[in-house]
Amino acid sequence: MSGNHNPINRHDSGIYRPKMEKVFIIICVVFLCLVLRLWYLQVIKGDEMAQRSETNSIRSYKIHALRGLIYDRNGNILVDNQPSYDIVFIPGKNRDLKTAVKSLESLYDARSLSMTHDLVRLSAGERSYSPIRLDRNVNAQKLAVVETWSMDLPGVAVDVIPKREYLYGDMMAHLIGYVGEVSRAELENDPAGKYRSGDFIGKYGIERFFDDHLRGKSGAEKIEVNAWGRKVKSLRKLEPTQGDNLHLTIDTSLQQKVWEAFSGQRGAVVVMSVRTGEILAMISAPSFDPNLFTGGISPREWKKISANPQHPMENRAISGQYPPGSVYKLVVAAAALEEKIVTPEKTFTCHGAFKFGNHTFRCWNKGGHGSVNLHRAIVESCDVYFYHVGNQLGVDRIAQYARGCGLGEATGLSLPREKGGLVPSQEWKKTARKQPWLKGETISVSIGQGYNLTTPLQLARFYAALANGGILYRPILVRRIDGPGGQLAWEAEPEEMGRLPISDANIKILNRALWGAVNDGGATGGAARRPERDVCGKTGTSQVVGLPSNEEARKRKVLTAAHKDHALFTAFAPCNNPEITVAVIAENAGGGGSVAAPIARKVIDAYFAGKRKDLRHAAQQ
C-alpha cells in the first residue's frame, strides 16, 4: 500500500510549466505597457497633463490694461474707457466648443436674443486654455443669461474688457482714430512680440501713432475654481499697468466751432499756432463715428463706410492732395522777388488772356485787370501777371522755392498716412512720366494748377511761416504725455524744421499784399474781412478738370457737381502780431472768395471770441 501514490498529492511540474511561462510573459507585457504609458504621459505629455490637471481646479485669467486717456489742451477728456463684457469659451475641462455654442444659442433663442460668433476650431497648435470669444460687447440681458445658467454652460465665462468711448464722435474721428482687435497679419508681423491674440491696439489716428504709449501692460490672475467653474480664491495676481495719458494741442471749443462753420461741405480745415506749430483745430469732412469700431464693427457697417464714394475715412487735412490754385501765387511771387525777376513796382498788362504759342491762357477776370504790379496782382489775384512771371522764372526755379516753402513733402505731423503732395519739375516729369517738360506747362504751374498738389496742412504751415518771419515749424498735435501716475513723461517743444528762402524785406512785401487781399477795395478775400481789419489771406480756386481755351467750347462744356472747382482760402491773424493761421479747402464748392473765405472768417471770429472768454474767466479768478 505504501508504494501507491495519491495522484492528487503527486506534483508534476512539467505539465504546468508552459502555462506558467505564458502567464508570466503576459504579466511582463502588461507591466511593460504600463511602464511605457507612464513614461509617455510623464515625459512626452508631461506638460500637457500637468496643465490639464491644473485647469481642473486652477485657471489663469488675463487682466486687460486700461488704455491711457486722451485730453485736449484745456484738460477736457476726449477719450474715456468703459467696461465691456464678452462671452468667451475657455477650453480645459470641457473641450466641446460646438456643444457649448449650441447651449448658449438655445438660451438666447428662448429670449429672442441673437448671437454673433465665429466657430473657431481648436487647432493642434493652440493651448487648451486659450479663450475663444463667442459674443462681443454683450448687453445686460445676455450677461444675465450666462450668469444665471452658468452651471449648464461648462467652459463658458464672462470676460471684462475696457472699451474705448469717443466722446466727440465724428468731429474728432480723423485726429484720434480708433482701436480694434489685433489681426492675424499684425501678429505675424510683430517680431518683438508686443501683441497677444485678443489684444486691442490702435488702428488709426493718434490711437495708432501713439499705441505704444496708450496701450499699457496687461496683468494676470491665477484662481482656484470649484467643480462648477466658480471662483474659490485668488492664488496669485499681477496687476495691470495703465497706459500713458496724452494731452493734445487741440482746443475742443474751437474744434466745435470749426466743425459747425464747415457743416455741409467736403474738405478740410486746419488751424495752427504760427508761433509754435501747435494744431489748435483740424477737421476733415465727411467723417465717421469711431465708436462703431470699439465693440467690433459689423460687416454691414464696415461696407457702408469703406464703400462710400465720399471716402469718409480719409483725413483730407493731411492726405487730401489738391491743386493749391491762387494760394500758390505767394510762392511764385517770392521766387520772382528773390530772383529779381520783378520789383514791387514792375507792372504787366492784363487784357484777360495770355497767349503762349498756339494756346490761350485766360485770367479769371475776362475783362482784364489792366496794368498790374505785384501788390495789386495778389490783391485781385490776377492770373495774367503770374503767367508772365512764371514764364520768366521757369518751372525748376519755381519748384526750388516751393520745396523751400515746405511744399512737396510731409510735414512730420504725428499722425499716420500723411502725404507729401507734389512739386513738379523737369526732372520729375522725365522720371515719373518718361516725357520732357513742355514750356506751356509752366504757365499752369505758376497759378497753382497743372501737376501741383498740396495738402491743407502744408498750406497752413507755409502761411504760418510767412506770419512768423520765416520759420517752418514741425506741426505739433500732442502737447505732453503723462505716465499712469501723473508724472510727466514727455513734453513737446517747438521744433524748427527750416526757414523760408525769402528775405525779411520780401516777407513784409508779401504780407502787406496779403493784408490787401482781404481789406483793400476789389480784394478777392473781402468775405474774410473783420471790423478789426486784422486778417491777412489769399483766396484760391483750383480746377478739377481742364476747360477748353475756345470760349464757345467752354460754354458748351457741362460740368457735373464732382467736377466743380475746389474753393481755398489761407490766412493768418492778427496781421501785426500773428497768432494763428487758417487753411480751408471746400471740395467742388466753387470760388475761394465766396465759399472758403467766409468759413475762415467764422473760424477766426471763434478763435478771438474764445480768447476773450478765457481772459474774462482768468480775471474773475
In angstroms, rounded to a whole number, what is the distance separating the alpha carbons of residues 454 and 324? 6
DSSP for residue 156: E
State yes or no: is 287 an active-site residue.
no
- List Cβ<8 Å contacts ≥24 apart for 483-492: 483/244, 483/245, 484/68, 484/216, 484/241, 484/242, 484/243, 484/244, 484/245, 489/213, 489/244, 492/249
CA torsion through residues 282, 287, 289, 292, sign: negative
- What is the separation of C-alpha 432 from the centre of its chain, rounded to a whole number of angstroms? 29
Residue 169 one-letter amino acid:
G
Cβ-based burial of 444 (10 A; exposed 0-12, middle 13-18, buried ≥19):
buried
In angstroms, rounded to a whole number, what is the distance separating the alpha carbons of residues 483 and 487? 5
Strands 496-499 and 279-285, by their bridges, are: unpaired
CA torsion through residues 489, 491, 492, 494, sign: negative
The grid coordinates listed for 43 are 515625459
In angstroms, rounded to a whole number, what is the distance separating the alpha carbons of residues 131 and 126? 10
In angstroms, rounded to a whole number, what is the distance separating the alpha carbons of residues 457 and 282? 9
CA torsion through residues 191, 196, 201, 203, sign: positive
Distance in angstroms between the alpha carbons of the first and the last residue of the chain = 135
The residues near 258 (Cβ < 8 Å, ≥ 6 apart) are: 269, 271, 281, 283, 603, 606
Three-class DSSP labels, 406-459: CCCCCCCCCCCCCCCCECCCHHHHHHHCCCCCCHHHHHHHCCCCCCCEECHHHH
Give the DSSP H/E element, type plus range, for residue 556: helix 551-556
In angstroms, rounded to a whole number, what is the distance separating the alpha carbons of residues 258 and 252? 10
Q: Which of 326, 444, 446, 542 is catalytic?
A: 326
The residues near 503 (Cβ < 8 Å, ≥ 6 apart) are: 338
The residues that are catalytic are 326
